[in-house]
Chains A and B, each alone.
Chain A
Amino acid sequence: MRITVGKGSCGIAAGAAEIFNILKDAGVPAVVTGCIGMCYLEPIVNVDDRTFVRVTPDAAREILKFIRGEENGAEQYAIPQEDLDNLSVQHRIALANCGIIDPENIAEYIAREGYAAAKKCIAAMSPEDVIAEMKASGLGGRGGAGFSTGLKWSFARAEKGDKKYLICNADEGDPGAFMDRAVIEGDPHNLIEGMIIGAYAIGSDEVPIAMEGIVYVRAEYPLAIIRLEQALGQARERGMLGKNIFGSDFSFDIRIKAGAGAFVCGEETALIASLEGERGMPRLKPPFPAQKGYWKKPSNINNVETYANVPWILRNGGAAFAAMGTENSKGTKVFALTGKVAKGGLAEVPMGKTLRDVIYGVGGGIKNGREFKAVQMGGPSGGCIPAELIDTQIDYRTLAATGAIMGSGGMVVMDETTCMVDMARFFLDFTCKESCGKCIHCRIGNRRMLEILERICAGDGREGDIELLSDLAEQIKAGSLCQLGMTAPNPVLTTLRYFRNEYEDHIHNKKCTAHQCKPLLTYAIDPEKCTGCTLCARKCPGKAIAGEVKKVHVIDMDKCTKCGKCSEVCRFGAVVVD
């Protein structure tokens, strides 16, 4: 009997550690797995082919009885069929083992064809063959740009030198994306194997080249760092890392570097500066990292998800990967579904599916039966795609045409209670904090845009603000060195394009229809509903509510600070917000 408990960061936060301990204390040999991607159902316990979800300590005790074959009430915690169906919509390559195998045990990875691809490459393929296979797969960089991985590898291979670096960008700073964390926590050997193959393709030569691998992980992911460290140790013990891998002439090892928290370090040259112990500021390209990267040596940088696709491609052939997807975007892509979606989590689907397939097919639509308004893709560099474009096909070009980008695959779903002007303000606030300050347009231009958005949200929007925003946006795009600056105005541009009426409402009518911008709201008490319970008057911090017991209360708008406390505490829905 195989019993597993999902112990990714999300599972643990939902209480999986306690569940695991209950099983363990009862003498059940439970195995730890990573995240299966159905975060909304955590904690999840599997007993052979039975899946139990939202497992509470009480549920765990029922599952214990089930395991022992006693009479039990575990059935009520069994996964509903419709949630199982969500998995069948997906096609898992990068996430194939996540939530299935024990990430802390290399034997389980090997049992699922693990390290077979690396072994095959080193034993039977030339580096050129490997790169040709990668080119044939059509795999594009999953960090967001979608640039051909095979081509990128060929550039780093073409460079001469005695030392080369293979770097993995695991600085997943894009708010709303967490697939890289899931891969490292749930299937770290998949990443390691992908990196071994990459290192072999780039650095194996008759003239020995010293190859070194570095994984740059966010410090905010402590569990990922622990699991990866463990996995690296196990791979070394088995001769899959270190000197003479698989008994060949090829040597390669990987070390971890914990990032110190800077979104801009997702940019290649900034990441390299950070690895060298400097402020993570991007520099002009060329020279590209493939020519002069870490310590001025040829360096190849790929994202976690990119490497995680590599072993599958080498096992099944580039053509099999390229058979999935669309003309310009091959294979599958992992999306992180969050926000107002009913079933948040990770979904890996073939390129070419529509946004509807993911948001409704996998995500189960919108929480609490509300209306879908928009989906934000690509984080601070991306944009908001409105409800009318929900049938947009997911591929790099089609998404770019909407003004958003694929990015790393974050999908933050929004409903009618999300204010789009506030969203734009939110992202600009983020970019201003994360701008490294090198380029004037990014450093000062974004600050000015943020000030305009803040005043619009505060009810002080002026005539001409929309034009000013558009003008600044174009200049920032043109005047910034790196992608952070060049794409920073995108959230503003897309919301202006699709939700201009909301900006106009804020500026001209001083109204926020989503009821998010507090200074624009008015509060009133509905005399029909008010029972005179006095709760709102007692809770009002500004003493702006007057009224006697069992009599209708009234809000004095001159004193009201618009904190919203009254509508929060009213049990009769008598506070009308407009």
Chain B
Amino acid sequence: MTCNCAENKSWKFSDPEIDIALLEPTLEKYGDVAGSLITVLQKAQELYGYLPVDLQAYIACRLGVKPAKVMGVVTFYTQFRTKPVGKNLILLCQGTACHVNGSSGIEQAIREFLGTEEGEITADGLFTYNNVACLGCCSLSPVMMIGDKTYGNLTKDKAVKILKEIAAEG
């Protein structure tokens, strides 16, 4: 059985937001470079926010590897997500220093404020929170990162205040 996904212009993704043309330059660049799977997946996630199964299958076809291999890599690394996330992704550090300084309390406060569990999107689509191992800002623990911005020395109130401010901006 041969794969003709590249020619198959009618390839449909379950998520209509996915414009596969955006990934084309990356696939062109890395399609023939051995060992590029992770790089391609990182780029795809940057473009689409997550890696649904049909997108994984498409990437597998284009790189000439089995979909099972792609899924194996996606599920191995914590960076990769198979579900969409909210507009603002909150990475809450659960490293040792943050743990010692009360990150579990911060998580509780965030969870209560958002009303979602880890990895879920809030009803307004604004937030998803994920626990992460260590953000490397241990001297400012407890710490969270939203987008490229790091917030340190958190208290429950401070964490919620930051989220409220972001929510107000939309």
- Bound Cα distance from A423 to B52, whole angstroms: 36
Q: Which residue of B lies closest to A260 (CB)?
A: B77
Q: Is A479 an interface residue (CB 8 A)?
A: no
- Bound Cα distance from A414 to B99, whole angstroms: 11
Q: A13-B150, A174-B134 are in contact. Are A280 and B76 (CB under 8 A)?
A: yes
Q: Is A511 an interface residue (CB 8 A)?
A: no
B138 in complex: contacting residue of A14, A178, A257, A263, CB < 8 Å = A178
Contact B134 A173 (CB under 8 A): yes
- Bound Cα distance from A178 to B80, whole angstroms: 23
Contact B37 A258 (CB under 8 A): no
Interface residue stretch chosen among A75-83, A200-208, A311-319, A336-344: A336-344
Q: Is A40 an interface residue (CB 8 A)?
A: yes
Interface residues of B in 74-100 (CB under 8 A from A): 76-80, 91, 94-97, 99-100
Q: A9-B150, A175-B96 are in contact. Are A336 and B133 (CB under 8 A)?
A: no
A222 in complex: contacting residue of B76, B77, B134, B148, CB < 8 Å = B148
Interface residue stretch chosen among A103-111, A270-278, A460-468, A542-550: A270-278
Contact A262 B77 (CB under 8 A): yes
Interface residue stretch chosen among B3-11, B15-23, B139-147: B139-147
Indicate the size class of the contact surface on chain B. 35 or more
A14 in complex: contacting residue of B96, B97, B149, B152, CB < 8 Å = B152
Q: Which residue of A lies closest to B132 (CB)?
A: A220
Q: A176-B97, A262-B76, A262-B77 are in contact. Are A338 and B132 (CB under 8 A)?
A: no
Q: Is A532 an interface residue (CB 8 A)?
A: no
Q: Which residue of A lies closest to B91 (CB)?
A: A220
Task: Tell me, rounded to whole Å, the shortest Cβ–Cβ distance linking A417 to chain B.
Answer: 9
Q: Which residue of B lies closest to A427 (CB)?
A: B96
State the majority secondary structure of interface residues on A.
mixed
Task: Tell me, rounded to whole Å, the shortest Cβ–Cβ distance linking B91 to chain A.
Answer: 8
Indicate the size class of the contact surface on chain A. 35 or more
Q: A261-B77, A277-B36 are in contact. Are A14 and B140 (CB under 8 A)?
A: yes
Contact A426 B132 (CB under 8 A): no
**Chain A residues whose CB sits within 8 angstroms of the CB of B128 once the complex forms:** none
Q: A261-B79, A277-B73 are in contact. Are A338 and B133 (CB under 8 A)?
A: no
- Bound Cα distance from A258 to B41, whole angstroms: 12
- Bound Cα distance from A180 to B3, whole angstroms: 44
- Bound Cα distance from A320 to B78, whole angstroms: 43
**Chain A residues whose CB sits within 8 angstroms of the CB of B91 once the complex forms:** 220
Contact B140 A10 (CB under 8 A): yes
Q: Is B137 an interface residue (CB 8 A)?
A: yes
Name, among A275, A379, A412, A433, the residue most crowded by chain B CB atoms within 10 Å (CB to CB). A412
**Chain B residues whose CB sits within 8 angstroms of the CB of A259 once the complex forms:** 77, 79
Q: Is B56 an interface residue (CB 8 A)?
A: no
**Chain B residues whose CB sits within 8 angstroms of the CB of A339 once the complex forms:** 96-97, 100-101, 138, 141
6 smallest beta-carbon distances between A and B, as pairs: A39-B139, A175-B95, A344-B139, A260-B77, A338-B97, A175-B134
